């Protein structure tokens, strides 16, 4: 008989591994979408829709899956969810028309709903003072975005893009079976049978929930949007090949996932308020610099016209993206620390709606990125949009929290 500590570790490792594979699948079109775009002759907006289609369903199902996880148990719901995506993933390899990819993407996107199930499932195995760290470790499964950027390009170059969905389908099946084998269920973690769905949804009337949705729309929605967009951005902006572009894009995706556990620890120690406030300011500064387009400036001097090239080279750009990835990793953890502190009995429902809104941000942003490029011709316009969203979060946070709180010296509350 396994001890409680052993069960906690096993559940956390199995769930994090499962979420990592689910997230890697969710980001599938970030890499294979590039050769598909060339094969089908898609414009920027069409590519944005292709890349983000899985994110749509993965976002919309987060709330109902969170509710079902609370009622039926996260282990069962997550296992069934993973199995349901195996065949749609495989069928992508046989798609030939644009609408084929969009339709398959909708079903594959169910994998993204694993977050709201898994994070509540893990959190309930730990006491409140350690929940931030536990949720941060689970959330580190976001590094699946980087996993796709490391693995998928090599498969594409070796066997063609059609091989990637086949490999991922097998990986999902094996992971689902391993998760079921090494995870546990505790009926005490489920909501009572007398609790209705209406009771579970009552917490959504709280205005704090919608504020946390706004925060998450930038730290997670922005993360997903850029994870889908960056490989193609490097190819188009700097002329890199697919493998190098994906590798550099992983410099953003990897810390944005792996360091979420550290963000959870900081949130436990210093409080969600302080961590989120600094995350927003670091994001604001970096996005301002990333927004500046490549510029050739000619001025008239006494010695005649002089031209200056102003803009970020690939290495400066990657360094700023790395910093943003770290900040958003901390921010994703701190937002869910808010939830575990303030909605302890409704983690599934509240994490579902916050995850839904954040995921919808990840769905809409690549489409908006493509539309802005088609409209303005400026590739850095994607960062201009994210800069504006960050402004909204900073202003909202200041008026509702910061102006009445000493974030620098007040002890963290648990």
Tell me the domain boundaries of the chain.
4-404
The top-level CATH class assigned to 4-404 is mainly alpha
Distances (CA, A) of 97 to 100, 201, 206, 337: 5, 40, 44, 43
Lowest mean pLDDT among 26-35, 72-81, 199-208, 302-311: 199-208
pLDDT value of residue 413: 47
Element of type H or E holding 182: helix 163-182
Residues 170 and 167: their CA atoms lie apart, in Å, by 5
pLDDT band at 345 (very low <50, low <70, confident <90, very high): low
> Average per-residue pLDDT in the chain?
85
pLDDT value of residue 13: 93
Find, among 225, 392, 390, 384, the residue nearest to 291 by Cα: 384
Residue 176 pLDDT more than 90? yes
pTM equals 0.74
Per the model's pLDDT, the better-predicted residue between 160 and 207 turns out to be: 160
pLDDT value of residue 130: 77
Convert 11-32 to b/e letters by CB count within 10 Å (16 or more is b).
Answer: bbebbbbbbbbbbbbbbbbbbb
Q: What is the pLDDT of residues 365-374, one digit of tens each?
A: 888 998 898 8
- Over pLDDT 70: what percentage of the chain? 92
Average pLDDT over residues 125-151: 82
pLDDT band at 358 (very low <50, low <70, confident <90, very high): confident
Residues 316 and 339: their CA atoms lie apart, in Å, by 35
Contact 261, 333 (CB under 8 A): yes
Q: What is the pLDDT of residues 202-239, one digit of tens each?
A: 767 778 888 888 998 899 889 888 988 888 899 888 88
Average pLDDT over residues 24-31: 88
């Amino acid at each position: 008989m396994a001890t409680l500590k052993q069960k906690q570790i096993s559940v956390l490792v199995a769930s994090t591994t499962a979420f990592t594979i689910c997230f890697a699948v969710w980001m599938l079109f970030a890499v294979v979408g590039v050769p598909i775009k060339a094969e089908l002759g898609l414009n920027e907006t069409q590519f944005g829709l292709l890349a983000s289609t899985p994110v749509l369903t993965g976002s919309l199902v987060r709330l109902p899956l969170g509710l079902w996880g609370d009622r039926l148990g996260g282990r069962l719901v997550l296992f069934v969810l993973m199995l349901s995506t195996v065949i749609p993933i495989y069928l992508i390899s046989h798609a030939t028309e644009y609408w084929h990819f969009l339709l398959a993407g909708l079903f594959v996107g169910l994998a993204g709903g694993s977050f709201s199930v898994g994070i509540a499932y893990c959190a309930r195995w730990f006491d409140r003072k350690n929940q931030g760290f536990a949720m941060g470790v689970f959330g580190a499964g976001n590094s699946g975005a980087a996993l796709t950027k490391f693995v998928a390009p090599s498969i594409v170059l070796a066997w063609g893009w059609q091989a990637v969905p086949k490999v991922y389908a097998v990986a999902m099946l094996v992971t689902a079976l391993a998760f079921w084998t090494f995870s546990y269920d505790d009926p005490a973690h489920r909501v009572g049978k007398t609790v209705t769905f209406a009771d579970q949804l009552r917490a959504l009337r709280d205005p704090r929930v919608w504020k946390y949705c706004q925060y998450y729309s930038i730290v997670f929605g922005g993360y997903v949007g850029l994870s889908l967009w960056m490989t193609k951005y490097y190819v188009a902006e700097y002329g890199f090949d697919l493998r190098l572009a994906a590798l550099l894009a992983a410099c953003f995706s990897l810390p944005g996932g792996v360091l979420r556990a550290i963000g959870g620890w900081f949130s436990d120690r210093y409080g969600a308020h302080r961590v989120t406030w600094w995350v927003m300011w670091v994001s604001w500064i970096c996005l301002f610099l990333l927004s500046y387009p490549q510029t050739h400036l000619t001025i008239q001097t006494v010695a005649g016209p002089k031209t200056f090239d102003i803009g970020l080279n690939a290495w400066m750009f990657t360094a700023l993206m790395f910093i943003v990835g770290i900040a958003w990793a901390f921010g994703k953890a701190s937002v869910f620390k808010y939830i575990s502190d303030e909605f302890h009995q409704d983690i599934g429902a509240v994490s579902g709606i916050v995850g839904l809104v954040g995921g919808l941000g990840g769905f809409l942003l690549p489409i908006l990125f493509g539309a802005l490029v088609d409209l303005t011709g400026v590739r850095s316009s994607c960062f201009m949009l994210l800069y504006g969203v960050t402004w909204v979060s900073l202003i909202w946070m200041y008026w509702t929290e910061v102006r009445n709180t000493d974030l620098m010296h007040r002890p963290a509350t648990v």
